[in-house]
Amino acid sequence: MEGSFVQPREETAAEAIEAISEELGLFDDWEERYRYIIELGRTLPPFPAAWCDDMHRVPGCQSQVWLHAQQEGEKLYFAGTSDALIVCGLVALLLRVYSGRECAEIEKTDPSFLSQLGLVQALSTNRGNGVQAMARVIQKMAKTALG
């Protein structure tokens, strides 16, 4: 199950947010950005079926979303998936920002970047609320790991 966790591509969460912003900026409209986000979801590592249970389910999401965290030293690594393609992409985007980071950095990385990137506004209200709920669960996991 080790291969289920997202490894960081950028050095920091802030760098990941900047890279995502630049990537989304390459597209002229939200239709193209949605396709890109769906493709991101296809890059998620396989999520074990055993974790698709109520213990790992994220409340507040329109679609089914599951997250699992594993702590290694000061860092938290996340695995996640959804039953909806666009939401898998949103999971991939969030995990690119948060997975493999120190708990303190996760806590300090405010999910307002989702609004700043225009994601929350471009999604349906339920999906926008859901992606923010995912970010809150990730931050809560970090806070719990810090004790």
Per-residue pLDDT of 63-108, as tens digits, reads: 899 999 999 999 999 999 999 999 999 999 999 999 999 999 999 9
DSSP summary character for residue 107 = H
Both tokens of 20, joined, read: 């995502």
Q: Which pLDDT value is given to residue 1?
A: 57
Of the candidates 52, 61, 88, 103, the residue annotated as catalytic is 61
Number of domains in the chain: 1
Distance of alpha carbon 85 from alpha carbon 15, whole angstroms: 25
Tell me the residue range of the domain where 95 lies: 2-146
Active site residue 52: no
Distance of alpha carbon 98 from alpha carbon 141, whole angstroms: 11
What CATH number does residue 16 fall under? 3.90.1010.10
pTM of the model: 0.93
Q: Which pLDDT value is given to residue 16?
A: 98
Q: Which pLDDT value is given to residue 6?
A: 96
Residue 8 CB neighbours (<10 A): 18
